Chains A and B, each alone.
Chain A
């Protein structure tokens, strides 16, 4: 540890200053941009690296290794940024696409309202700036307001929705301002709100924020002739009084300055009634719009990000299941799902040495990219690559870069096929309310694959089928079975539609495409034959045997066949470690910190962290050699939710003293210097001090509450279990 600040006296400035600058960035000018340097070095080391015969001294190799590792870390970081920005932009696009209909509705509403307002009166500039009202009619004092029902219990998902809405309106010419629930609070008052409005609309805000400055701004030529839309994204959290006041104030001006509201409502349409006074409500001319449901958004998201891996990055079955559970059991917000995915992505790039190869997917010619990168790989990583469990038993292991490039390309192609087939499955199951995320989790399950796999499968590397066949067959292909079942009962019209969509999905796989076409053509025949069929219902069943089985059955057969062949989970493919994140425990611990449980475990099992020799051997009893706070925490386990300080102290003292005397006896018996500090029985003051510190430490961790004045001898235990 370089200059440990903890050893400095307690009063050292760094410890008692509220804040200080530890250091400034190392001279920015000195270091050139590292990534460009990195690339240069990779090119330079291209010929030398693969053959390590250039006998260097070991120290040089070390230095080289270190440089290499930094270099590749830089590459991985770059890969992360590129991959994630691709994923993020895909996500944004998908969400915006889903909401686009609503956005257009809002825009149309705004434009209509604007023309309605203008139809009542078209004040000239001088009139706008006059303080007295233009019209006194009540009708003219109503603010057009659209309530957007978000249907989300959690507001966090709507942040992006409203952000996109704002952009959409703005790009279509509306003036836009947003007021958050924090601004519409009693603390800020209506004055604070108004100031915030002005800050967003005007380029420089005058000291006195009033409507006149807004009016004169609105009169400027470039601002006139467009409505001002105020978005309040979380209506329920706002203070009703403040919002009411704002509504009353602005409604007096609505003819002169056309300000409209868009309010997001998470609960029901009653919310504004509950929140606002009837007087304020009267001033709102409302219109109701509804957002798409979270499950629609989720399906679209899974399709765009996980099923068609837009940036090459994908996740394993375990991770998928974890994310699914996290979504359904944790909070059900898309936002938390995305942030979990991002964390998974960053963990992947941080832990997997070869992950930078993911970038290849984003390159135009990925094979070329990979070849270039492979040839520059240092020996260590090279070996690592061919030692990956998924390809260690590949048959013709000549370990050339060609193999690897081929392997990766093949991996991508199979992934693509897998995605197409999965979408076909989903399309069939959609009519039976199957969610894409559920079926996705099944489709990435390698166990399922080994269950279905015929004995000779070209794609599955041997090691995997061997390794995985040991795993007990998971309980399930529940959803896939449901899909297979569903397709048998699809009405003809829907089935035709499904086939239509399929042929779209499987364009890349000629074999299936043909079969789908075949099916489609038979349906047309069947269609024309239907009239005949209706006539002779009885007879048609008789001829079902020779190739005229009901279409549904055929489609189901095709789907089953295709699933068996093409639905190869990524974990069964060689080199999948490079693009696939598998470490679910790392993700879980980073995503869901659990201080309540972990801190208590730290204290109750301090030995497992400290790995000391002195405490573990004492077996069951609380040993005095434990960390003081650990002793206290162990003792506290035996109390109720209040702890008598006196008793607690006595038992603590007992443990300390018994250990001391033991140590003493021991040091008499064996002169080994194992415990050379044969201390005299601790002084009372010292024990008390240790007791005090342990109590304080437990207080800092929040395991204890200090005694109240009424019961000065009792402290309260707060945390009992996780």
Chain B
């Protein structure tokens, strides 16, 4: 395999001209298409090696080594990141001109952006959104921004008393539209009042849906809000339509590869050599659950609620699940419960473990946040 890889590298590194690159790319596409395992023989070859043939280490060990991977090119990476420091002034200038900055290129840009924010954006109030997390409540974010503006105007009003300074409702309990229209009303000539929203991975899993993007776009075109964001996914531009790009976000793109390891961003992805690479996600679980009967959904809900209430425990004993479900008239016998459980197990919604006292325990392989979100969406 190695020499074949070598040829690819040769093809990639020999051509420095743009056209050659293009040719290389299209060549690799056709190469890929050619190699598609269409015939039976090729299919057999493609499927020849199995992961199970490898001497895979235990997941625990794997995770332990993961945190000890020695960094490569540490100096060069740092030098590269440092080289962007010269551009900070220009970035600030553009931000002040009313554009949003969008950073892309390979490598984690978390450190770069936070450094930029803390050294150069000192005149702004900076709010960071960690878009790589599996779930984010954007309404909380905009409520926080709104509160910030509220405090600012309040402190200003103190100097000139006599004006109304009562909020009809605290922001978190107002509707989304109300908060946005409050933010849109915030205008001031003072540049020091501006808030900068620093969004790591604006294309992250929790922000990838149309609704979140609409929300962010609306926030980003509020007069006193500026946005600095990073994207990693190659298809990120597909998230936005023309209106968002030209009239709301107003992106100015910057290609800033850092080659810094995606340390935090990686945490929420399954390890390919550990869980078979297909860990359950909220989305897939939701799809499965929605296709089940209401009773089965309710059984799952019982289990999920238990797990949320007893996070420390290894899981819910089957017997107590049965009792709970009977109490709520969800199942009439152990047999019906078992049929539900089989369904769950088949779709990886539930994992069975032996409890330390020997009992079978059920556990949903999702973190609490994701589980809560799942329950919300299921409702």
Contact = CB atoms under 8 A, between A and B. Distances in A.
User: What 5 A-B pairs come out closest when comparing CB atoms?
Assistant: A721-B25, A646-B49, A593-B253, A651-B1, A640-B35
B350 to A, nearest CB: 16
B57 A712 contact: no
Interface in A673-722: 677, 683-686, 688-693, 695-697, 699-703, 706-709, 711-715, 717-722
B326 to A, nearest CB: 32
A301 B51 CA distance: 62
A595 B234 contact: yes
Given A610-B76, A621-B9, A627-B72, A602 B65 contact: no
Given A599-B106, A603-B106, A610-B259, A640 B36 contact: yes
A652 to B, nearest CB: 9
Interface stretch (A114-122, A153-161, A393-401, A533-541): A153-161
B130 A640 contact: no
A593 B237 contact: yes
Given A691-B273, A721-B25, 11 more contacts: A21-B144, A22-B126, A154-B242, A155-B243, A199-B177, A350-B90, A621-B3, A637-B11, A640-B37, A685-B65, A697-B261
Contacts of B102: 593
Nearest to A679: B70
Interface in A575-597: 589-593, 595-597
B125 A612 contact: no
A649 B29 CA distance: 22
A6 interface: yes
13 contacts: A2-B115, A589-B254, A590-B253, A596-B234, A599-B257, A621-B2, A621-B3, A621-B6, A622-B5, A629-B106, A650-B1, A692-B66, A715-B277
Contacts of A651: 1-2, 4-5
Given A635-B1, A692-B272, A16 B278 contact: no
Contacts of B233: 595, 700-702
B69 A599 contact: no
A673 to B, nearest CB: 15
A347 B266 CA distance: 35
Main secondary structure of the interface of A (DSSP, over half): helix
A635 B105 contact: no
B253 A592 contact: yes
A467 interface: no
A706 B278 contact: yes
Contact of A6 (B135, B257, B263): B263
A432 to B, nearest CB: 32
A620 interface: yes
Interface stretch (A38-46, A289-297, A333-341, A368-376): A333-341
Contacts of B276: 707, 712
Contacts of A331: 242
A20 B57 CA distance: 37
B378 interface: no
Interface of B: 1-14, 21-22, 24-26, 28-29, 31-37, 46-51, 53-57, 61-66, 68-70, 72-73, 76-82, 89-90, 93-94, 96-99, 102, 104-108, 110-111, 114-115, 117-119, 122-130, 133, 135-137, 140-141, 144, 148, 177, 190, 192-194, 198, 214, 231-237, 241-243, 245-247, 250-255, 257, 259-267, 269-274, 276-278
A4 B81 CA distance: 12
B36 A595 contact: no
B77 to A, nearest CB: 7
A252 interface: no
Contacts of A626: 72
Contact of B53 (A349, A595, A646): A646
Contacts of A621: 2-3, 5-6, 9-10
Given A156-B246, A343-B252, A640 B34 contact: yes
Interface residues of A, number: 132
A81 B136 CA distance: 35
A5 B112 CA distance: 10
A333 B64 CA distance: 53
A620 B6 CA distance: 6
Interface stretch (A24-32, A56-64, A259-267, A456-464): A24-32
Given A640-B33, A695-B272, A25 B125 contact: yes
Interface in A1-28: 1-6, 10, 14-26, 28
A611 B1 CA distance: 27
B9 A634 contact: yes
A722 B28 CA distance: 11
B127 A22 contact: yes
Given A159-B247, A693-B261, A720-B28, A22 B236 contact: no
Given A73-B93, A635-B8, A683 B65 contact: yes
Nearest to A606: B259
Nearest to B122: A26
B234 A600 contact: yes
Contacts of B137: 18
Contacts of A614: 73
A524 interface: no
Given A6-B108, A644-B48, A709 B278 contact: yes
A346 interface: yes
A595 B104 contact: yes
A438 B314 CA distance: 71
Nearest to A707: B277
B127 A634 contact: no
A622 B234 contact: no
Of A336, A592, A646, the most chain B CB neighbours within 10 A belong to A646
A73 B89 contact: yes
B267 A10 contact: yes
Contact of B13 (A24, A339, A591, A620): A620
A639 interface: yes
A23 B122 contact: yes
A234 to B, nearest CB: 10
Nearest to B13: A605
Nearest to A234: B243
Contacts of B81: 1
Nearest to B58: A685
Contacts of A644: 46-49
A19 B9 contact: no
A250 B329 CA distance: 47
Interface in A546-604: 589-593, 595-604
B72 A684 contact: no
A700 B262 contact: yes
B259 A627 contact: yes
Contacts of A24: 125
B1 A654 contact: yes
A635 B5 contact: yes
Nearest to B35: A640
Nearest to A706: B277
A335 B29 contact: no
Contacts of B261: 693, 697
Contact of B135 (A18, A596, A610, A695): A18
B26 A646 contact: no
A278 to B, nearest CB: 31
Given A644-B49, A720-B25, A22 B214 contact: no
B122 A339 contact: no
Contacts of A76: 93
Contact of B141 (A19, A84, A634, A702): A19
B69 to A, nearest CB: 6
A661 B249 CA distance: 51
Nearest to B156: A28
A408 B71 CA distance: 55
A364 interface: no
Contact of B5 (A1, A634, A690): A634
A346 B251 CA distance: 12
Contact of B127 (A19, A629, A721): A19
A637 B65 contact: no
B129 A712 contact: no
Nearest to A597: B25
A577 B379 CA distance: 62
Contacts of B55: 684
